[in-house]
Amino acid sequence: MSDHDILSDDEREALSAVMLEPDLPPQRVLIVDDDKDARELLAEILGLDGIRCMTASSGEAAWALLNTHASIGLLITDLRMAPSNGLELIRQVRGSTRAALPIIVVSGDAEAPDVIDAMHLSVVDFLLKPIDSVKLAKMVKRELGMAS
């Protein structure tokens, strides 16, 4: 160790070990919509921006993925789905260990009480279909901490 070096040999070794560790898996977006075309199109649009996506056709399927994939860093859900709806899924997430997960709601036919309920559940935003894909991609990148 030279006189002007601020790190000891042990500190330098520890720093090297940390720098060589594999990166954490990139965060993914979970898209939930019972309309197959809508969720696949959204995944494709975000994928073009380098955003990795997973999809689920129901709240139940989404919940199972959330409990098995720690790499999910953002949830995008429709409100109107059968048999459960998006609000039920959001409430389930907010009452779980994943409560801090950022959530964006998309809907084609939301009524004012639904929007209010969703906002009370601390969603990032509520977007009406058809979605402005550029705005959505910027929002997703911001929430995931990706450079825009």
Q: Where are the domains of the chain?
A: 24-144
What percent of the chain is predicted at pLDDT more than 70? 86
* Residues 147 and 55 sit within 8 Å (Cβ to Cβ): no
For residue range 127-138, what is the model confidence (pLDDT) as tens digits?
988 889 999 999
Check whether 21 has a pLDDT greater than 60. no
pLDDT at 19: 56
Q: Report the candidate in 86, 92, 27 with the shortest Cα–Cα distance to residue 58.
A: 86
**111 — pLDDT class (breaks 50, 70, 90):** confident
Mean pLDDT of all residues belonging to the chain: 86
Check whether 34 has a pLDDT greater than 80. yes
Average pLDDT over residues 73-87: 89
Average pLDDT over residues 48-55: 94
Q: Report the candidate in 99, 98, 78 with the shortest Cα–Cα distance to residue 36.
A: 78
CATH classification for the domain delimited by 24-144, as one of 3.40.50.1820, 3.40.1350.10, 3.40.50.2300, 3.30.365.10: 3.40.50.2300
Check whether 13 has a pLDDT greater than 80. no
SS3 of the chain: CCCCCCCCHHHHHHHHHHHHCCCCCCCEEEEECCCHHHHHHHHHHHHHCCCEEEEECCHHHHHHHHHHCCCEEEEEEECCCCCCCHHHHHHHHHCCCCCCCCEEEEECCCCHHHHHHHHHCCCCEEEECCCCHHHHHHHHHHHHCCCC
pLDDT at 7: 72
Name the residue with higher pLDDT: 139 or 111.
Answer: 139
